[in-house]
Structure 1
């Protein structure tokens, strides 16, 4: 009986092997879904839709963006973790991928064990913005005003674990000040209340704030990169404006579910690298203040190493702040 079971298992593996190889060779034979674990219209969604369009030609198939927001991005991320490892369901996620283990006590997936990394895509700096009638005129005045009026000011963010939340957390820690923080269910409603002057200030990605800044609908003070960005050259860096060493970049990466065959991952890597070198994609990202990652960073090895280092970086900070999401 034992020998018969071993023989059946061996035959099954022999049959499945060529079929799996054939499936990888034919990949993709139908549209690919790229899950964005946030609402449509937000900064991560903007990156995803631009990347999906740029990957269409090198993949030879349409890449459909599916928004599945909720629980700080963990809902959509968990959906991809449970998806079939066939290359037809991908995840475009940002820095929150590496902060979730410290933020959520009952995370339904393991960011290292449940995914196959494809590569880093873009890095997006943040901007410190305030309602249009905020009293301060410069970043130095902004710092002084926040410290002096901390009991009456409110800082918006797109929810616990969001990029704006993480930037705000670092900012308040850097200036050793606490203000009322107001979490929203996404960047869009937070920005709407900012435009409506119902909240005072917010730190958010250039992909979401550039349009409002250029339209003079909000007051902008500084960027979180270490060098000024071409799309918003009038804004100083926080470092040069007085908050020495302050830097926050919201990186975005692409993943597939665990078990996705290596030949499929290789095709995705090649398609993503081609997309990152597409002139239209690079221009779109430049207009939004985002930095496209070089090919050497758009690899599974680079993304895997980066995620592990980011988990080590953010975990202690989040635990020290005592911030948890159920």
Structure 2
């Protein structure tokens, strides 16, 4: 179609818009609340169009058409879009009106709508979104101003209203990409190509859970004294302390035995007068004498052990002496008394 023919059809369409402005209201297909609201919105839109306020009129016509569809409302809406410069929206609405009028047998309106669409077709701006084979990652999603585009639309010049469009692309495991392209009314077709999406870096590993330290007891355990050898004391001095301790215990035991012997001796009192005793008194005094002898033996053994401990302590090497120089001591306690032996 030549530009002169397109201009002539465009002039005819504008004339039809003026005719529509003075035409009667389109008949409504339904009654009720939606139809009444659609009627109010239609009246407001026509009044705004007569004042040249197309930006405010077009949304009212679109809502009126949604609530109660009519061919006349579509014709007005297409004319409103055309005056706003939304050529693609006006072209699509004219075509919709022509189809609706044809189904209803309104041949004059059908012809008028088709002429309006034909006049706009040569002026349409288009947007071509190309997705090369190297960019078609698995699960790729392409959006235009946030609206998902089906893959069949990739590589197809789509009629769009002039303006700015944001093209976005994303895919699992890839970094998202976006670009803004301006579609000029006189530019014909604007093209934007989706590049291969860069692989997203691997997420950092999750931090390890902090180890929970056991709660410390608030009551400190009493410190045990280190054994003498652990503190560096020679074995001979350890033996000296053991011998002296045993001797002290033996002396203490002999004192107890002495008290027991005295108590046993006093038990013979009723059987004796002075040094003269009957048989029972003699037996009791002999028992007391035996206990006393045993106490004497224990006392002598304890004293010997204390003395031996003192000798070992005095003759033992200092704590700094080597382990090989430490004496080996053996102490024994038997019926004959205390025995002491070893290497010094």
| TM-score tier (shorter) | under 0.3
Given the two structures, how large is their TM-score scaled by the length of structure 2? 0.22
Q: Which has the higher helix share?
A: 2
Which structure: larger Rg?
Answer: 2
Greater RCO (CA < 8 Å, at least 6 residues apart):
1
